[in-house]
Amino acid sequence: MYLLSSSQRYHFKLIDLKGRAPKKNSCPYPFQAALIDGRIAISAARHPRKDDMAGKKYATGNTYKRTLKDGTTVYDAVAYYGRDANGKPIRRWARGFGREADADHELARMKVDPTWRPSDGSSVAELVAAYIEQLAGQGKELTTLNRYRGLLARNIAPFIGKINACGLRGDQLDKFYAKLLREGARPGRPLSGTSVRHVHQLLNSTYSWALRKRLVTFSPTLEADPPSRMKVGGRAAKLTEARSIIMAMKGHRMEAPMLLAMATGMRRGEVAALRADHIDAEAGIIRVCESLANGGVGKVYVKTTKSGRAREVPINDMAKSALHIARVSRAKWKLAAGEAWVDSGYLFTDELGRRLHPNTLTDAFRRLCEPLGMQYRLHDMRHTAATFMLHAGKSINTVQQILGHAAASTTVNIYGHVLEGAKPDAMAALDRMLRGEAR
C-alpha cells in the first residue's frame, strides 16, 4: 500500500507504508491529488497550457500570505483556470486560512474539484438581487422583500453594486460601511449603526446563500467589521402628555383606532386588521390574529402578527369606548355614503367603508401631535402602554403576552430601563418583609 506525498508542485513521491524504501516516481506525467471526503482524489491529466485551460477541471494555483488590520496573519489560495472568451483570467479564490497548510490543502482540492464552475461575472448588485428573488420564491413576507430591495437600491447598488461578486474584499466593505455612517446614501443623511448593520446582514445572508450554491468561494463579510447596533429603548410619553393626546383625539375621524392602540398597546397593522368577529364582548377580549402590512405605494396585504402567533388582549374601559366610537362612526358614514359604501368587513374603515392603510393611522397621529408640540409616533404609544403597565407592577410575562412579543426576553431588552427604576422599591419591600413590618 502506498500513499501519495507532495514534494513539489505537480510532483509526488510514493511512500511505502510497510517500511520499505521509497520508490522513485516513474509516472510519465504529473499527478494532482487531494483528500476529499476522506478519499484521495487523483487526477492524471497533463499540465494544462494557458491556451487550453478554460473549461478544464484542473488548474494551476498559488497561495499567498497577508496580514489583517488587527495583525493576524492569514493565507489565501487562488486557482487559475485559464482565460475566458474575453481574455480575462478565470480565478477561484479561497481566503482567510489560519495555517498555510490549510490553504495548500484547499488549493489542491480546488485543482481537482469537478463540481466547480467558473463565475459568470455577476456583480454584487446582481448577486443580491438573485438572492432576494430566491427568497420571494420561498414565500418570504412582502414587507421583508421590499425592505431588502430598498437596501439594495438605496445603499448597495450605488456604491459597491458594480464590483464583481467574487472580487469584493473585506477592506472594501469596511470603507463602504464607514461612508454610510459618515455621509449616508444621500448627502447630509448619515445612517445609524443599526441601519448599516442591516445592510451588512443582507450582504452576509447573500454570500452565505451563494456559498451554498457554489456561486462564490469566499464571503468577504467574514473579513468586514460592521458597526454595532444602537441599543435604543422604546420612547414613551409622560402621563400628562398621554392624557393631552387623548383629549385632542375627541371628534377626530381616526379617533377610534388611535384610541384603541393607546388603550391596548396593539401595533398599527393589528388595529387596522380587526374585524367584528375578532371581538368577543362576552369574554371581554380582542383576538389579535392578523395584521395589515404595507405592500408598496398605496397597497396593503394581510399577514400574520409579527410573532406569527395569535393572542388575546383583554378589553378595558378605554378600549370599550374606542369600539363604541367605531360602531357609531361606521353607521354614520354608511348612511352618508349610500350606494358608494363598501362593506369591507373591517372594524375600522374610512368614510366609504374601505379598509385603512397602516400609514393612514401613522400620518393622522403625527398631525394630531404636532399642534401639541409633541413629536411622537403612533408606535410610541405602544411603548407608553408597556411602560405604564410595568410601572404599575405588572409582571414581564403579563406585559409580553399583551404586547405579543415572541419571548419575554424581547420585552426585557426593550423595557429593561423601566425595570431599573423599580429596584429601590423592590429592595425596600424586601427589607420590610425581613423586619416583620407591615406591607
Mean pLDDT (whole number) for 344-364: 94
Q: Which residues contact 402 (CB under 8 A, 6 or more apart)?
A: 264, 265, 311, 313, 314, 389
Rounded Cα distance, 248 and 258, in Å? 11
| Amino acid of residue 92 | R
Q: What is the pLDDT of residue 279?
A: 96
Pairing of strands 32-36, 39-43: antiparallel
Q: What is the pLDDT of residue 118?
A: 55
User: Is pLDDT above 90 for 380?
Assistant: yes
For residue 299, the tally of other CB atoms under 10 A from its CB is 10
Residues 294, 143 contacting (CB under 8 angstroms)? yes
* 159: confidence class by pLDDT, cuts 50, 70, 90: very high
User: What is the three-class DSSP state of 336?
Assistant: helix
Mean pLDDT (whole number) for 103-107: 83
- Name the most confidently modeled range: 5-9, 35-39, 225-229: 225-229
**197: part of which helix (H) or strand (E)?**
helix 193-212
Mean pLDDT (whole number) for 342-350: 94
Backbone angles phi, psi at 386, to 5 degrees: -65, -45
Q: What is the pLDDT of residue 145?
A: 92
**pTM of the entire structure?**
0.63
The predicted-structure confidence for 283-337, as pLDDT tens digits, reads as follows 999 999 999 998 776 788 899 998 889 999 999 999 999 999 999 999 999 999 9
Q: Which residues contact 76 (CB under 8 A, 6 or more apart)?
A: 63, 64, 66, 93, 94, 95, 96, 97, 103
Q: What is the pLDDT of residue 16?
A: 40
Mean pLDDT (whole number) for 80-91: 77
Q: What is the pLDDT of residue 389?
A: 93
Backbone angles phi, psi at 33, to 5 degrees: -145, 155
Of 211 and 13, more confident: 211
* 161: confidence class by pLDDT, cuts 50, 70, 90: very high
Q: Which residues contact 168 (CB under 8 A, 6 or more apart)?
A: 124, 160, 220
Rounded Cα distance, 27 and 44, in Å? 9
Rg (CA), the chain: 32
- Name the most confidently modeled range: 27-36, 57-66, 196-205: 196-205
The predicted-structure confidence for 32-76, as pLDDT tens digits, reads as follows 444 444 444 444 333 334 333 334 445 788 999 988 877 888 888
Q: What is the pLDDT of residue 17?
A: 39
Q: Which residues contact 50 (CB under 8 A, 6 or more apart)?
A: 82, 83
Residue of 95, 242, 265 whose CA lies nearest to 167 = 95
Q: Distance from CA of residue 289 to its chain's centroid?
A: 23
Rounded Cα distance, 395 and 393, in Å? 6
Mean pLDDT (whole number) for 137-162: 92
What the chain holds in terms of domains, given with CATH numbers, is 2-112 (no CATH), 124-222 (1.10.150.130), 239-420 (1.10.443.10)
Choice among 244-258, 287-301, 423-437 with the minimum mean pLDDT: 423-437
Residues 258, 251 contacting (CB under 8 angstroms)? no
What is the chain's mean pLDDT, rounded?
82
Q: Which residues contact 4 (CB under 8 A, 6 or more apart)?
A: 12, 14, 15, 31, 33, 40, 42
Mean pLDDT (whole number) for 82-111: 80
Choice among 104-113, 124-133, 361-370 with the minimum mean pLDDT: 104-113
Choice among 18-27, 169-178, 215-224, 338-347 with the minimum mean pLDDT: 18-27
Q: Which residues contact 223 (CB under 8 A, 6 or more apart)?
A: 68, 95, 96, 169, 170, 171, 173
Q: What is the pLDDT of residue 120?
A: 60
Q: What is the pLDDT of residue 116?
A: 59
Choice among 79-88, 239-248, 346-355 with the minimum mean pLDDT: 79-88
Q: What is the pLDDT of residue 114?
A: 59
